[in-house]
Structure 1
Amino acid sequence: MIGFGVATISMSILPFILPLDVVIPLVAITAMIATGIVAFQTKSKDVFKHITPLLAGSVIGVVIGMFFLNVIDKKILSAILGLFLVAYALYGTIIKKHYFHTGKKLGIFIGILSGFFGSFLNIHGPFVGIYSSSDGRASKEDIKDMIATYIFITGLLTITGHALAERVTKEVLTYFLISLPFLILGLLTGTKLFKNIDAKTVKYGVYLFVFIAGTSLLFLK
């Protein structure tokens, strides 16, 4: 329906079923396809104006994340991120008016956080969800397109990295082909549901996915 729920839910469940070296590139490919379709369908006005600061910040965040990859304890970082996401999701749900001015500075900052955590935890979407849903002027189409377009572009870069590192194996592609019909079915269902819900419901849906992502990180082993 929006896009980043694909990665959030998949990363919460699949590591208990498949090896992590299969799950990470598989989820990256699936999320990229899903968000690419959603972004193409939505095409809201000035979306690139909103996500350019996010993308610029992401490049910085990825560089920082890669530098600290072997220095910071992954479990501690996962717990800190999980607590932050859960706290923000609860805050956004309980507090009715909590909008921020989503300008270039905040966009770059959120992009840095997204790139940093995404570089080795595969977590991009929740931060973009926070950014887009914090703008009181954004319509549900704007929120949907910002999240989908951002994750599609960063997904292309991520998959390129996985391919260069030879992580996109025959096994990964096989699982992707198996999941494709279910992905399409989910997107069709989500598109129909999206037409019948308002912007407020979309924002609460974003907070729900952020909460799920945070909770899954708290229990990450």
Structure 2
Amino acid sequence: MVFIKTASAFALLSTLASTAPTSTPIYPPYSNSESFNLIANVTSGDLSPSINGWGLTSYHTGAGTAYAVLSPSSPRIFYANGTAEEIRYNSGNILSDEGTPLFPGGLVINAPTTSTPSEVSLSVNAGVGTSNVGITHFPDPVNTLYALGGEGFYACERVPFPGAQSAVMVFQTQSEGVPAGCAEVVFLPQCSEGSGAVHPTGAVSGCYADVAAIDWSIYYSS
């Protein structure tokens, strides 16, 4: 089993270590669900208004394409997709149902553009999305979104395309680090009801009942 701990998840655990009153490692309790929302936990920076506790959703840009953005309400429902072996070895993907009738849209880690080579944005596009994206599992002590090839995630207020309204877009952190004016975030899965669709290779993931209600000050990471 591959042990994955993203840089942003490590930052979250470091925060626990500095604030918790005990030296015994304890972590927030979780349950399991196929369906979940992805909730942002700010580990450094933050925007105004605060985006801590906002959910990942989508900003439509064209037929079957949408940027991944944060919103204070109406987060999208996601699920981990893959065979038992793919989930075990972190080679599955993250999907979300969309359209009528429902069809899968995948979480995509976009390639850098020539105009912004240091920015790697996320999208939710029709299809299966990017492989090697999922929710961490044992032995990782905290369940978080991961994507291989990056160093966590951050969020910035951007105008997605000319003439559009600004939105809090989500990016994968690269070696350059988090840009000034952006917030470093960890995405925690919050258990949710499903969309009603049947997912033949949908996987059960560890998730939290209420991410906003977690009192991180009582937890600790060794």
Shared fold (TM-score, shorter chain, > 0.5): no
More strand by share: 2
More helix by share: 1
TM-score by length of 1: 0.30
Structure with more contact order per residue of length (Cα contacts < 8 Å, sep ≥ 6): 1
TM-score by length of 2: 0.30
